[in-house]
Structures are given as structure tokens and as C-alpha cells.
A and B are shown apart, each in its own frame.
Chain A
Amino acid sequence: MSTPNASGWRPEMNAGGADDTTTFTGNRALMLEEPLIFEIGSTETTGVDFDQEDGLHASLGGVVETEWDAVSDRVDALRRTDSIGLPGLSEGETIRHYTRLSRQNYAIDLGLFPLGSCTMKHNPRLNEKVARMPGFADIHPLQPQETVQGALAVINELAMWLIKLTGMHGVAMTPKAGAHGELCGILCIKAALEARGEDRRVLLVPESAHGTNPATAAFAGFSVEDIPATPEGRVDLEALKARLGPDVAGVMITNPNTCGLFERDMKAISDAVHAVGGYVYCDGANFNAIVGKVRPGDLGVDAMHINLHKTFSTPHGGGGPGSGPVVLSEALAPFGPIPYAARYADGSFKLVEEESAGAEHPDTFGRMTAFHGQMGMFTRALTYMLSHGADGLKQVAEDAVLNANYILRSLDDVLEAPFGGSGPCMHEALFTDNGLAEGFSTLDIAKGIIDEGYHPMTVYFPLVVHGAMLIEPTETESKAVLDQFIGALRSVALRAKNGDPALKSAPHFAPRARLDETLAARKPVLAWSEPAVVPGTPSLSEIGGS
């Protein structure tokens, strides 16, 4: 279609220069630039071969049986005639394009991915193998139920694990991600209040909650009120109690919280909220810190989503898919969504959908996604649970917490740990950028650690501390890996404290230097378009390129 120009680099840039760090192609040995498919593909090329004529194509070639002429005429009236502009590549070119792109990515398979609150742990490949078994991967959501008993058994078995691990009463399996799970839990609360004939409009959300929490509450029509954190990073119980009243539908709380701390007062919070007729939503994104050690049901939680991709290791694929089942208390379970897989006394399974909900689940708030949830994530998560077992999952929590505390104690002499004095953290260690040289911030440390070969930690979250750095090593990192990371971060932190100017322009060794995010937002370019030809621009052939 047009000149490959992946990097914005143009051959003439090299014309008079003696800079021997620049290559003609823009490539640097194994670090390869890759154009867009729109720049290298063509609308005539395809990497797919179709079956040869087998008699079924005939109806397209004019041999249409009489009664279908009319159908074909009508389709012709709607035929897409203009070029769509979709480039194609041969199979080999396709593999090369995406393989090259993949090499521009950091991933857990390459090293420690210490994103706090995101829980990037090893993704076992058995999970992938199981999810691809044809009996799971190649079944349709609307197949007759007698032909999908194994799939319904998986949903049911996974649900049983989640209930037992959390000490809750029921579970809604269909939410498609953590935030969708939050919405599910909040809709359960709303439905329960409605069933009681109450119109409570306020949800209390502590400052340290995920940004999704207030967004979810607002999306479901609640008004959101913040609850401050104490100086040691936990929910201010007294402030919470002071705000409780008959207009409060409930509280959305994260435990372990986003400062990496366990909410010691969780039971007292639950009791206080319940005493005024409200419900307790717990953001379970950090469940991996307590799985097998603490059951949220024992703390009075009414609803909690569990990010299967975090705690139970389903790969996050560059931003999704996730999966967010929600465990529910006895009070909220009757309001959970449909469909769900029910097990009957004879060992058979049935989907409770709109049709049977009236008899078996009359108070359901309804359906929140077209089909049955993230089945591909369910098979992976169940495989992981079975591999670890209850004893292994307990070890998961212990090792995750041990690793985080090891990082906290190994770095708190060079980085300020705002709540480090108040005792152990859970599965993530929180630092701030206080004490760096003038003009240096968390961002510089993050970009500096990239050059050391690591993905940065979560930055500027949680919002309750200045210049937050939230580090979550997870349980799948060895001591040797942690020691190397600690050494690297210590080195970068010291450079930031000493005001090393080179740190301001890091990263230097990544595929790209710091990107202009302001430009991207001010002049959004969100889709590729054919570049306008600029008169006077030399073509590759004119300057001797091949």
C-alpha cells in the first residue's frame, strides 16, 4: 500500500550524518521495527485457503434454484461494493508480523511483573492445554443441555470451590471481569433493598478503594460518598460509623486494601453497616493474599468479586479477558443473576435461565451478559485450583505475603514506606517518592527500572499517598529474582535521590523512549488512514533504497 515506515524514521535522516548508532532500516539487530499491517499488506493478499468447489458454491454462480432467486436479489441490493480497506498478509508474513510485535512487549514469561493490585503471577500452561480441549473450546452456549453436561459440571465445581474458599453462601458466575463483578454485587444490593421496599441511595466508598468502585456505584444509580483513611492507611471506622444511617445502602471496601494492608476492623465495619440495614461489598481483587487463610464470609461480607485472572492465574492477555465471579451472602444470594448451573439430585446439571428462574430463582435481578460467563477462564481457574489444592492455595497466600514483606523490609531504607511502621503488609508493598532529589518523581523511578529489565510497579495508585509505588511480587517469584529486583530498584532509587540527570530521560534501552501522551490526547489518531502524499518527499527508490 505505501512505504514501510514503522518508526517514523526516514532514510534521508541518515543522509549527511555520521551517527553510527543509526541503521538504515531503523532496526537494531534483534530489536526490529515493524510497520503496520496497513503499510505492508494488500487487499488482494490472503493467508487463508478455502475448500475447493464441492457443489455448495453453485448457488452463487447463477445456478440458484428458482425459489431462492428472490433471496439472492435482495442480498444483491445490500451487497458491499466499495473497498473495505482490510489488508491481508500471507501466513508466513502474518506469523512474522505478530512475532515481531510480540517482541516489543514485556510479559510475565519474561520476568517479574510487579504491578501492585494487578497480581501478575506465572500462568501455568496446563491451564491453556485444558481450555483448548475440544469438549470445552468447541461447544456452543445454546447447545441442548444434555450435550454440555461436562461444561455445566465445570461451572458447578468451580462455584463450589469459590464458595468453600470464601465461606459464602452462593456465587454468581457470569460477570465478565472484576468491574463487571462489582456491578453484579451492587445490583444484588439494589435488588435486595428493593425487595425490602427501601430506597437507599448512598454508597460509602473509602478513599483507598479502586477507582472502579465509585464508578460502579454511580453507574448503578447510587450517589457516592468518600470515607477517609486513617493515618495508617485503613478505613477510618469512626468516620464510617458517623456517616451510617437509613439512607446508606452499604459500603464498598477493599480487603486487603489498596495500601496492601489488611482491614483489621472489617468485622466491626460489617457489624456497623448491618446494624443500620446496609450491605457490605468487598472488592476481592486482592484475594490472593488471604486465600486459604481467611474466609471473607466470616468477616461479614455480603458480596465480593474474585478476579479469576489474578488469584487463579488465568492469563491477562495484554488487558483482558478477565473474569469476575461474585460470591454472595445468604442475604444477597437470592438476587444473583441468571443463568447459572444447578446440580440436581440425580447428578445431572441444568441451566437456570429466564424460563426456569421464575420457579427456582424468582428474585433474580436478571441477566448481565448474553451467555454463561467466561467459560474459557473457568476451565483455566479450576485447573489451577485442582493443581494447587486447598493446601497449595494456602501456601500461595503465605508466599505472596512473605515475598511482599521481604521487599518492604529490604527497601524501606532507601524508599519511604508510608505505612511500614504499622506492621506487616499483605501481598503488596507500598512506597512513596518522598525524599527524592528536586524534580525527580515516581515516574522517573518507573522509567529507570525499565532499563534494568523490569516492568515497573504500579505508580500513582493508591491515591491516598503522594507518588505511590505499589509493588506486588506474587508467590511465583524466587528469592533470587527478588534479590536481583531489590538490587536494581535500590540502585534506581539512589540515582533518583542523587538527582542523576540521565534518569530523567529513561528508558534508554526500550523499544521506545518516553511517549508523548499529551499529543495523543490532544490530537487523537485512533485509526490508520492512508497518508497524504507530501510533494517533494523522496521515495525509497529515488534515494537508492531497495
Chain B
Amino acid sequence: MKRKISVILALLFLFVMFWAQWNWKHLSSFPSIISSFYSKEYCSCYFVVELSEEQCHDFARQWVPISEFKLDKENRSVTVKGLGRTNTAKFQSKTYGCTLLNE
């Protein structure tokens, strides 16, 4: 019985590894989605649409919570940390709005 469970677990592990390898490009960039989405959409909501801080948090909020948030009004940028990754979006101008800074 024990041996059977070990074999099943080993197969399961192999399957997960194979799946992870197969989807590595998706998996490796996934954690960045939370902070990049939050920073970009908050930046545009606040500096382009000019809604309140509270409304912009409500707009950019996702299912996965963020761990750090910094709204830099002087430099017109928004920095967010989530799932261990940090991203910053910066307001360029009224014409061109906000852009995520390159990683």
C-alpha cells in the first residue's frame, strides 16, 4: 500500500514538474501581474481620470492582495509590491497618461 502511494506521489510530482516546465514562461511572469496591474491602473485612475484615492484603490483592487503601496504625488508615480514583485507606473503627461516602467 505504502509503495503504491509513493508511486502515485512520484508520478504526481513528475506531472507537476512537467506542467511547470511546459508553462514556465507563463508561470515566471505571473507574480508580476498583481503589482503591475495595480500600479498602472491606479496611476491612470488617479492622474488621468483624477478620481479620489479611495475610488482608485477600489478600481485597481484584485483578488490577490498587495503588500506595499506608494503614491508619489510629487513625481507622479505609483509603486506597488505584490506576490514578491515590485512595479512602478509613471504619469508622463495629460496627452500620454501613465506607462509602466520597464522591469
| Interaction A to B | no
Taking beta carbons and an 8 Å cutoff, which residues of B are in contact with A?
none
Taking beta carbons and an 8 Å cutoff, which residues of A are in contact with B?
none
